[in-house]
């Protein structure tokens, strides 16, 4: 024996994929400006490290928040005992206000409709448990965040059916692709319970257009038993036009929000009942360690079920209190949102121009902590094998850990996600220099890789086939 | 006005709509009554006193003192130099310093009679998450875990709800102080088989909730032999291990394994948490300690769904790695809980109420069966309702803990001040006097 469950022995956690090789290599040989300048630079980690100074300065000015005090008085006991899965009211209020602020107050959120969870990892899984049975499916546009394979499928038994998007239209979701995905699910005998999108997109770094959002709402209206989940974890990282449009805004425009729906109408569709937003402070605020996620839904049953389920992943009351104070400081949130936007924009520009110098283009982006980079011209052939080859070269020879598109289920080989907000400016510049040197070397000054007969790979064979199972790859952060 | 068309609400999953979360049980109804009319010494002295909440409020001063003297534990020091690293830290291995501190704390609680390897500590947001996680790992939907009754009401949700796993009770009764017997174990196993459930393991709580007693060493040995014979797992939820009134009276399953040189240890997993011993349920700190490498690896990966806030890990790493603090805390907490326990049993004795002789936990298991109108579940619930609405005490009825014998109640003693406890005991005495007078 020592038999374990099917869940424990299957590979749905996704951690043995060769994708984690890059992680391992980075950890064995991490770049450090002083101690290891030739090491691997981590560009596969979608962290936001640009605004810590703002957080630190706020903490210094407001010592009560982390010191378990309110107006100078200790509330330690109160916090230590607070385990109500309804969440701290002050924190919920602060979070919904923050969400509204991020959306330019074009929509507002009711604190009684928010469910707090230990990160959006937990939020997304919880929604699957609430909305789908084992064996049901959700449609997701590709490319998508690799973690979804684990978060949505592993313990829930739910399937993901991809909505194939491609570069011909900047990877936007089309009606045809949506329909095709739906039919694919039918063919596989899977009951589709809904669509899940990430907006702004990971890994694309783009906001979804109104057209796409309306298309999705139309789709779930047509299929009255389907839900639409919008993971808006990057909503606070939008730094340029066309700006962020939340699915809630679209519902409002269509007069399909709960408040405005009139049951006397023929349009008593209650589509608002089937739209749910996921949020987190891991990206916008750069606090992935604090495990703060949320589900927002106008569907009372979903809120009720999800609230009970949140028992399995509550947010530490210590953290709820700290952040309720921080996000409750409107002067701070205003400053933060503006400054964060500014700094992200600058960084993205740095990365884009650095890539340009290396003769590499990327998808035009206006959000996120990464760019969706086009290296198709560097592939020896238009295949995923060639993409893997290129990726390994970039990890081992160039010393950059970037994320290959195949790990995001992209249908076109040659795309890579490259992060820009998890390092200093100097490190980013160095990364670009290395990349330029590499491209120059392998394309013979401007030629394409294909013309030069592909990239030579000598000693890579050994670990080409090695999987990461030996050492427990720290599956820290893949978003 | 148009015709109102009843639009069917969109369906949620079976899990979402089932009652397996168990929240419609009387255990939770008492909470409501308390919430609506909570006792307060000054502002509501005739309100409901909460005695259904197993919280430990007797040692907060020790924690507060530590925080005052070590502010860097909560505020990352001047200028917050450690803040960014801490805020970014989401590694599911958990903070090394915290894991080490946790392992050390668990050793100290057991008086050094067992060793814990930090590499086997998996962190989860509370024992609620730890128990569910282990169930996902050890059992498939439709399988069963054997759990001795009476047991913590939350298990019905934690072990079964989203996992689809069944609980088959190991029936224990007052004839032998509710100890687990081999006969009961075998009977439970057969019962599961008869229902076509594959038994995956036995889950015990030691010290027991709601009984408030530690499991005898010989029983643990028998249990371990049983699970080895049947080739199944043993989960020992030792969440109350630091709440034993006397240092020498608790035997952890870890000690059994050490004595046997870890033979067959891969089937054993320990659950722990800081919610009871340290009185920090809000901070969501639980752990799985497994002797099975595959379980450790898998549990770690699964813990992604329920990580402990790095802010909290940082705080507790500091606190629990301070041996001066932990030694003093463990000892002082023990003494204070013992004092509270003595208070409550004296009060119950003077009220003429029988109770199970306990040696651990934050509650007393008392026997009100002589007061039942009928020796049934309904009789028990009637009495419970009377205690709730007439005596204004929220206590937990045994049926919510799946106890086979009606009339037993769990009453908590560590979640209130001594004065409040005195008042509660006074109310109980008056109630008992009233009943005796009525009977005459």
Nearest CA in chain B to A152: B305
Neighbours of B46 (CB within 10 A): 10
Mutation target to probe the B interface, by most B beta carbons within 10 A, among A316, A471, A475 is A316
List B143, B158, B237, B277, catalytic entry? B237
pLDDT of B8 above 60: no
Check: CB of residue A479 under 8 Å from CB of residue A202: yes
| Minimum CA–CA partner of B19 in chain A | A305
pLDDT in tens, A455-474: 444 333 333 333 333 334 44
How many residues are there in chain A?
A: 479
**Average pLDDT value for residue range B141-166:** 97
Give burial (CB, 10 Å; 0-12/13-18/19+) of B266.
Answer: middle
> Which of B289, B194, B282 is closest to B241 using CA atoms?
B289
pLDDT of residue A21: 78
Assess whether the previous peptide bond of A200 is cis (omega < 30° from 0).
yes
- CB pair distance less than 8 Å for B306 and A15: no
B139 CA: distance to closest CA in chain A (Å) = 5
Q: Express each pLDDT in B305-320 by its tens digit.
A: 999 999 999 999 999 9
pLDDT at A470: 35
Please give the pLDDT value at position A15: 59
> Are A81 and B87 in contact (CB < 8 Å)?
no
Spatial distance between the Cα atoms of B129 and B288, rounded to a whole number of angstroms: 10
Confidence of residue B352 (pLDDT cuts 50, 70, 90): very high
The shares of helix, strand and coil residues in chain B, as percent rounded to the nearest 5, are 50, 15, 40
Closest approach of A124 to chain B, Cα-based (Å): 10
Yes or no: say if B258 and B115 are a contact pair by the CB < 8 Å rule: yes
Q: Is pLDDT at B438 greater than 90 in this prediction?
A: no
Residue A101 and residue B380: Cα distance in Å, rounded? 53
SS3 label, residue A370: strand
**Per the structure block, which two tokens stand in for B152?**
């913590």
Interatomic CA distance for residues A262 and B375, integer angstroms:
54
CA A465 to each of CA A13, A372, A472, B178: distance values in angstroms, whole numbers, following the listed order: 20, 26, 17, 57
Overall average pLDDT of the A282-295 stretch: 98
Per the CB < 8 Å rule, is B83 touching A5?
Answer: no
Identify the residue among B3, B16, B31, B92 best suited for mutation to test binding to A, counting A beta carbons within 10 A and taking the highest. Answer: B16
Beta bridge partners of A137: A159, A192
Using 50, 70 and 90 to split pLDDT, how confident is the model at B90?
very high
- Arithmetic mean of pLDDT, A43-63: 95
Say whether B283 and A318 touch across the interface (CB within 8 A): yes
Report, as an integer, the average pLDDT of A321-327: 98
Tell me the two tokens of residue B293: 């490498």
The residue to which tokens 């069966």 are assigned: B369
Tokens of A341: 């936007």
Q: Look up A231 and say whether it is catalytic.
A: yes
Average pLDDT (B109-119) is 96
**Record: contact B13-A273, CB cut-off 8 A:** no
Length of chain B: 440
Q: Are A94 and A116 in contact (CB under 8 A)?
A: no
Cβ of A264 within 8 Å of Cβ of B4? The answer is yes
Strands (E), B72-218: 121-124, 144-148, 166-170, 199-205
Q: Which residue has the tokens 């005898």?
A: B216
Is A258 catalytic? The answer is no
User: Is the pLDDT score of A131 beyond 90?
Assistant: yes
State yes or no: is A145 an active-site residue.
Answer: yes
B239 is catalytic: yes
What CA–CA distance (Å, rounded) separates B44 from B138? 48
pLDDT of B120 > 90? The answer is yes
Higher pLDDT, A6 or A334: A334
Name the residue with tokens 């490259």: A418
Q: Mean pLDDT across chain A, nearest whole number?
A: 90
pLDDT of the residue at A28: 93
H or E segment to which residue A160 belongs: strand A159-163
Query: In angstroms, what CA-CA distances link B3 with A210, A256, A269, A270, B8?
Result: 33, 19, 14, 16, 15
Helix (H, G, I), strand (E, B) or coil at B317: helix
- Contact of A187 with A159, CB cutoff 8 Å: no
- The chain-wide mean pLDDT, for chain B, equals 94
pLDDT of residue B180: 98
Give the span between the Cα atoms of B120 and A474, in whole angstroms: 15
B301 neighbourhood in chain A, CB within 8 Å: 13, 15, 150, 475
Arithmetic mean of pLDDT, B232-254: 95
Q: What pLDDT band is residue B10 in, cutting at 50, 70 and 90?
A: low
Contact between chains at B84 and A68 (C-beta distance less than 8 A)? no
| Residue from A298, A155, A153 nearest A228 by CA | A298
Q: Average of pLDDT values for B132-142?
A: 96
Chain B contact probe: residue of A10, A58, A81 with most B CBs at under 10 A: A81
Q: Using CB atoms, pick whichever of B143, B233, B311 lies closest to residue A322.
A: B311
**Cβ–Cβ pairs < 8 A, chains A and B:** 244
Interval A246-283: pLDDT, tens: 999 999 999 888 765 455 444 457 899 999 999 999 99
* Beta-carbon separation of A274 and B10 below 8 A: yes
Q: Mean of the pLDDT values across residues A163-167?
A: 98
Pairing of strands A400-401, A41-42: parallel
Secondary structure class of B423 (helix, strand, coil)? helix
Span B101-119, average pLDDT? 97
Q: For residue range A168-178, list pLDDT tens digits in order.
A: 999 999 999 99
pLDDT at B110 over 50: yes
pLDDT at A461: 36
For residues A239 and A310, give the distance between their C-alpha atoms in angstroms, rounded to a whole number: 32
What pLDDT band is residue A19 in, cutting at 50, 70 and 90? low
Could you tell me if the ipTM is greater than 0.85?
yes
Report pLDDT for B6. Answer: 43
Instruction: Give chain A positions within 8 Å (CB) of B128.
Output: 311-312
C-alpha to C-alpha distance for B176 and B367, rounded to whole angstroms: 14
């Amino acid at each position: 024996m020592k038999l374990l469950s099917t869940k424990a022995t299957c590979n749905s956690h996704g951690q043995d994929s060769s994708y984690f090789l890059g992680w391992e290599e980075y950890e064995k040989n991490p770049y450090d400006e002083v101690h290891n300048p030739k090491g691997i630079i981590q560009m596969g980690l979608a962290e936001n490290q640009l605004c810590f100074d703002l957080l630190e300065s706020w903490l210094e000015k407001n010592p009560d928040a982390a010191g378990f005090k309110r107006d100078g008085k200790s509330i330690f006991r109160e916090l230590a005992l607070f385990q109500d899965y309804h969440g701290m009211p002050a924190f919920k209020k602060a979070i919904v206000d923050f969400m509204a602020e991020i959306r330019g107050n074009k929509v507002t959120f009711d604190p009684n409709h928010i469910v707090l969870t230990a990160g959006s990892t937990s939020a997304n899984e919880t929604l699957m448990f609430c909305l789908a049975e084992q064996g049901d499916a959700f449609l997701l546009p590709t490319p998508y965040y690799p973690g979804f394979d684990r978060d949505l499928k592993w313990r829930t038994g739910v399937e993901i059916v991809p909505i194939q998007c491609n570069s011909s239209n900047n990877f936007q979701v089309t009606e045809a692709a949506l329909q095709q995905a739906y039919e694919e699910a039918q063919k596989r005998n899977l009951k589709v319970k809904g669509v899940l999108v990430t907006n702004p997109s990971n890994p694309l770094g783009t906001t979804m257009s109104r057209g796409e959002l309306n298309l999705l709402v139309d789709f779930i209206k047509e299929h009255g038993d389907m839900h639409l989940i919008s993971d808006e974890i990057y909503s606070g990282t939008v730094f340029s036009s066309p700006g962020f449009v939340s699915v809630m805004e679209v519902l409002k425009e269509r007069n399909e929000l709960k408040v405005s729906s009139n049951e006397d109408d023929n349009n008593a569709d209650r589509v608002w009942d089937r739209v749910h937003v996921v949020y987190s402070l891991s990206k916008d605020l750069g606090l992935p360690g604090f495990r703060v996620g949320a589900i927002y839904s106008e569907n009372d049953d979903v809120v009720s079920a999800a609230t009970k389920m949140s028992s399995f992943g509550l947010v530490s009351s210590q953290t709820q209190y700290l952040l309720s104070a921080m996000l409750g400081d409107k002067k701070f949130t205003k400053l933060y949102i503006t400054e964060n936007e500014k700094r992200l924009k600058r960084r993205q520009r740095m990365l884009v121009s650095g890539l340009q110098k290396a003769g590499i283009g990327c998808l035009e982006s206006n959000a996120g902590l990464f760019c969706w980079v086009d290296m198709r011209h560097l592939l020896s052939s238009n295949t995923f094998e060639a993409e893997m080859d290129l990726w390994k070269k970039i990890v081992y020879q160039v010393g950059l850990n970037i994320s290959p598109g195949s790990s995001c289920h992209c249908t076109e080989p040659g795309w890579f996600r490259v992060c820009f907000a998890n390092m200093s400016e100097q490190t980013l510049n160095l990364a670009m220099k290395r990349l330029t040197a590499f491209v120059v070397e392998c394309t013979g000054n401007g030629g394409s890789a294909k013309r030069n007969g592909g990239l030579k790979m000598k000693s890579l064979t050994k670990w080409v086939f090695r999987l990461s199972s030996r050492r427990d790859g720290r599956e820290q952060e893949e978003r | 006005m148009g015709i109102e068309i009843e639009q069917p609400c969109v369906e949620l999953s079976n899990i979402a709509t089932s009652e397996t979360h168990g929240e419609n049980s009387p255990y939770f109804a008492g909470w409501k009554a308390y919430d609506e009319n909570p006792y307060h010494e000054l502002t509501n002295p005739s309100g409901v006193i909460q005695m259904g909440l197993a919280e430990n409020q007797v040692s907060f001063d020790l924690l507060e003192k530590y925080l005052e003297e070590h502010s860097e534990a909560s505020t990352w020091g001047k200028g917050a130099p450690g803040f960014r690293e801490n805020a970014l830290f989401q590694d599911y291995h958990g903070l090394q310093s915290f894991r080490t501190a946790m392992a050390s704390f668990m050793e100290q609680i057991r008086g050094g009679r067992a060793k814990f390897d930090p590499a086997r500590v998996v962190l989860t947001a509370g024992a609620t998450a730890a128990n569910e996680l282990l169930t996902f790992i050890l059992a498939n939907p439709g399988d069963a875990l054997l759990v001795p009754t009476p047991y913590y009401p939350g298990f019905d949700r934690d072990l079964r709800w989203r996992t689809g796993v069944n609980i088959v009770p190991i029936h224990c009764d007052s004839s032998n102080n509710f100890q687990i017997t081999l006969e009961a174990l075998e009977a439970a196993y057969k019962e599961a088989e008869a229902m076509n459930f594959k038994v995956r393991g036995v889950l015990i709580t030691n010290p027991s909730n709601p009984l408030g007693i530690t499991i005898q060493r010989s029983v643990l040995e028998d249990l371990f032999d049983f699970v080895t014979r049947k080739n199944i797992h043993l989960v020992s939820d030792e969440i109350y291990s630091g709440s034993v009134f006397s240092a020498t009276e608790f035997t952890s399953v870890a000690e059994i394994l050490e004595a046997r040189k870890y033979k067959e240890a891969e089937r054993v997993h320990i659950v722990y948490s800081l919610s009871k011993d340290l009185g920090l349920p809000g901070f969501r700190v639980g752990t799985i300690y497994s002797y099975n490498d595959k379980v450790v690896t898998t549990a770690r990966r699964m813990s992604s769904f329920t990580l402990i806030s790095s802010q909290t890990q940082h705080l507790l790493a500091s606190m629990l790695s301070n041996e001066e603090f932990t030694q003093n805390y463990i000892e002082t907490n023990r003494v204070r809980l013992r004092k509270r326990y003595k208070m409550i049993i004296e009060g119950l004795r003077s009220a003429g109420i029988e109770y199970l002789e306990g040696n651990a936990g934050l509650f007393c298991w008392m026997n009100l069966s002589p007061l039942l109108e009928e020796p049934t579940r309904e009789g028990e619930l009637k009495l419970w309702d009377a205690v709730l609405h007439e005596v204004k005490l929220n206590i937990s009825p045994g049926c919510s803990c799946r106890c086979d014998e009606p009339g037993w109640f769990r009453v908590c003693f560590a979640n209130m001040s001594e004065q409040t406890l005195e008042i509660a005991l006074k109310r109980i005495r008056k109630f008992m006097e009233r009943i005796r007078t009525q009977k005459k």
